[in-house]
Structures are given as C-alpha cells and as structure tokens.
Structure 1
Amino acid sequence: MRSLPDQSLGYSDPAGLPALRETLAGYLGRVRGGSCEPDNIVVCNGFSHGLSLLARVLAERGIAVEDPGHPNWREQIDGAGASWHPVEVDGEGVRVDRLAASGAGAVLVTPAHQYPTGVVLSASRRIDLLDWARTSGGYIIEDDYDAEYRYDRHPVGALQGVAPDHVIHAGSLSKSLAPGLRLGWLVVPSALRDEVVAARARGDRFTSSIIQATAAEFIERGDLDRHLRRTRRSYRQRRDALTAALRQQLPACGATGISAGLHVLVRLPDRVDATHLAATAAEHGILVHALDRYRASPARDQPGALVMGYSRLAPATSRKASSTSPP
C-alpha cells in the first residue's frame, strides 16, 4: 500500500496489472516452460472464473471435458451457456481418439496430473492432442491446477509452450497459497485475447489491484519459490504417510496415480459400494468422495474408488490410524 501509485487504485485494465502480467510471463516461462508475452495473460479470480470467461467466448464451439473430471467445471460451462461433452479418461489420460466424435471445438484437460484419477497424459496422447488441435482448429484449455506439486521428478512441461496458438493455459494460486485469494490467470492465444478481455470487461471488470500488486511482488522476489519448496516437502510427507497407512490397514485397496498433488485415488475391492462407504465415513467425521461423484454418468461394471485429500492430514494422524487394529 505504501508503494502503490495512486493510479493503481483506480479502474484498471481488465486484463490485469501490467506488473503482474510481466511477472507471470517470466515465471511461467521459467517454471512451466510456457511461451507467452505479458499481453497474452489475462488475470482472473481463480480458475472457475477464468473457465466461465472461456466458456462464453467458446460457447458456439462446445467444450469436451474429461470423464471423470471435476463436476464444478461442468457446472461452470453450463452456467455460461455453453455445451459440454464427456470424453473418457484411461490410464494414459483423456481418450484423444474420441474427441472428434464429441463434436466439440475445444477440450478442457488436466495433462500434468489428471483430476481425479491422478494419471499423467502420456507422451503419445500429448502428441495426438496437439495434432487434433492443429488439424481441427480447436483449442485446448490446459488446467495446470497443481503442477507445482510433483514429488518424484520435475513435472512435465506445459502444453502451452509447445503450441501457444492452440493452447489456453490456466493457473492460479488456489492450491499453492489459498483459494481465498481468488487470483488466477489465463494465457490466451492472440486470436482469442481481445474476446476474452472484452468478456472480462463486461462482467466484473478487474481483479483487486492490491491483491495483484502483492502477488507480483511476492513472485518477483522469490517468495513463491521458497514457499513451494517448503510445502512440497510437507505435502510429500503427508502423502507418504497416508499411502503407508492405506497399505497397512487396507491391503486389498491401492492408492493409484503419480506421486503428486494433494489427493490420491484409492481403488476398492469388487462389490464394495464407494458411495455408501463415503457416506459412512462422513458420519465419523472423515471427508472422502466416491469416484462416481466426478463422472458425467455412473460407471457400470467397474470397481469403486475413493478420492482422498491429504493437504490438511498431518503425518502423525496417518501414523496413529495405521497403528490401530485393522477393521
């Protein structure tokens, strides 16, 4: 507040403060292999807000979504007046071979760490997806929601850096800092930039200048990098403690997905009702979700699974649970 010039507290550019957009362009190039200029960045109030802007701009195209995928994103697309089309996810990520049949002109994907299955989009699927976009003239919306949290190796680079004319890269500070900040960004191809900014201007105009300026300084002086190094260690310990407890207490179940993010997918034995199990856990103060909650339609003839978050689960809690007698 002491350093902000007076004009920064007036009505500002709906694309975002120039200082933050410049900082983000450098950060994304250094950390995620992005390829963008500050002018390609549009600051928004978190990913859900950014998706609603994109859904308005891309409404006539229709948007394919991963299945299973986050139900909130389907609701955002619906609310913006666009149509969504589910496309199956398997062990290699989204089934790119089924995109053409969806009829959609855009696709929303989580390639670095699919939500909620935890798989990474395979190298061959990445190539196929980029080929689909170039051949069809479609757009890929890359939700890079937790790429900062990969524990066994460096995360795969962003798709946007390979095909900046066809990929809309979306990120936020919701997982790395706090969702209450409501700060995210879109890296938009030049062909769509003016439409997205116009959609922003017609809505809530711009994000808090104070939050934007603070974030720019926080990133610029290296505080975000230091925070991520510290929290990566913490979250890896929490994930390791949870998966160790699962192996000891529930050996018939398996935590799947890569060592990354803030959740694991736990596959259940045949004939175990995941929805009933999640409801029973909730009665005991344990919040987990059945995988079917994330599907466009319930799966048939597939084992159930639970989505379990561990960001607030201290390692000592998991170790205490694993020291009790198995059920």
Structure 2
Amino acid sequence: MKAIGFKQHLDIKNPSSLIDFETKRPKPNGHDLLVRVKSVSVNPVDIGVRKNGNGVLKQPKIIGWDAYGVVEEIGPQVTLFSSGDRVFYAGSFIRSGSDSEYQLVDERIVGNAPKNLTDDEIAAMPLTSLTAYEGLFEQMKLTFNKSKNKGKTILIINGAGGVGSVATQLANLAGFTVISTASRSESIKWTKDHGAKYVVNHRHDLVKEVRNLGFKYVDYIFELNDLDGHWKEMCELIRPEGHIVSITENRRPINLRLLTKKKAHFSWEWMYSKSYYHTQDMISQHNILNKISTMLDLGELQSTLTKSLSPLTSRNLRKAHKLVESGHMIGKVTVSNWQ
C-alpha cells in the first residue's frame, strides 16, 4: 500500500521531511478495523511528532491522527462495524497513523461517519471533537442543560483554533455564555460565527480584557494554547470552586497554590489517554463520535474545515503541515484522494 512518513526530523521546507513510500498492507486482529483511508486532517500533534527528535529511523514513521474512510476488513472480535461501513476517527498515539492507504484502528475509538458531509468535512472533525467533548463534558463535567447553564460563563483560550472552533460550538449549544480569545479580525469573526458571544485578545492582559466586559470571574476556563503564558491570568479569573482544563503542557513549573484559596480545580485533557492505556471506558470515544456525527448531520454542529488539498501525496501533506505550523491557521486543513 501507499504511505507517507518520515525518517528524519527535518524542517517542513525540506522535501525529505515527509516522503512517499510503499509498505505492506496490515491484517486486522481482535477489535481491529482495516480502514481504506479517503481523507486525513493535520493537527498540531502531527507537527510536534514530526519535528521533535534526533537521529535517523530505520523505517519511515507514519503519523496522522484524523481520518475518514471505509471499513475494508474486520477482526474476529469486532461487533460494532461491518465491511463497507463509512467511519471517522482520530486513532491511537501508539499505532501507525492515518497517512496511509489502509490503517488498523480499534473499533472502540471509531464512529459512524456523518451522512450529509463531504469526505473532507468529515475528516476535519474527529480529534478536535473528541478533545473538546472530553474536556467539557468529562473533565469539567458539564451537561447539555440550557436552563441549568444559563448565566454561567466559560473562557475558551484560542477559540479560532481546531479544538476551540468545536468547543465554542458545543459550549454555546449547552447554554453557556462563551468568551473566546482571538487577536486578528478574521479569527474574531470566525469564533463569533462558531458560538462565542464575546471575544477578548489573548495578546493583551486577559484579566483586564474579561473584566472590561463586566465579568469579575468566569465559571470555567478551557486552555488551548500557552498554559505557561496564561496561568496566572487564569488563576485570577477562575471563580471560587471553578474548573480549569488544559490541553497544552507547561514548560516550567505551574504554581497550583494560586488555586488554593478558591478551592478551584485543574485537570488535563489528552484525547489519546483511553487508547494509550486501553482504559475500561475506551468505547466512550465510539459513543462521542456517534453523537458528534448526529449533531453534524442535523446541522447543530458545523464542520470546521477551511482548506482542502488533493491528491494525498507527500507534497500536499507538507503544504498542510506548513499551514498548521505557521500558527495562523483558522479551522482545519485536510488532504484527500490517494493518487
């Protein structure tokens, strides 16, 4: 089968940073689905794994953590899907990625694809939807109860990014007053169009920005970019007994004592945890993706696709990586159709 990967951690401008190659088509075992990949999306995690490391690998590493495709074969323990089913998923951090013609993925982290969207619109959604949903409804323990949530506020830092574009929609649908951060005119418009009632500039003092809106504290904070840079601001803005969730890692120690008097909560969200450790609730990702699929088909949730490239070659995948790596990407970019 055709695949795209890397053997060296190179600058994306280098043609060898991602290369086309041929490899053996895998066989499904256990709960595995063998999926014929139609379209993939690029996320910041792709950039991090490709760039960070040393040395030369013996075999090219296939990355990619977003895909839409069709089930080609199933393993002997599969019960949720059949050959020919249309599926979407974000995959696992410890298995070969989606940048290949065929990919093995555990059925318990796979959803039934939406029926009313294009291939690319579907491929743009799995990782960001899972991250946003888990962060909001598992870590923060929010609910879709508009009457209960009326008047409650959530600050979403980096609302125009991939995860933020979904999180703003979900939080708005759940009845929260969404305060999003953005700094450019196009990203401000984008996040307002996706559910933010207010927008503040994360390049300025967030405490002043939010309080200028009339809010002394916010009930929840979803941190999606630069934990170190915003930590003190978040600790000041979070209400007593409020909850902060972060998807980005700190590069220096964070002072949890700043939350002590408020008895506030802090937790991490890492979408890969369930498949990485094969947790007992791993099948929840199947259920979440099916919910997202239904919401997309009903038009309650909008795909965050903004850029599509074709065909699916190393050249176009490098273009997609470059877009995401620029830090100015709004929404999601996909690459589709194997040549």
TM-score clears 0.5: no
TM-score (norm: length of structure 2): 0.29
The structure that is helix-richer by fraction is 1
More strand by share: 2
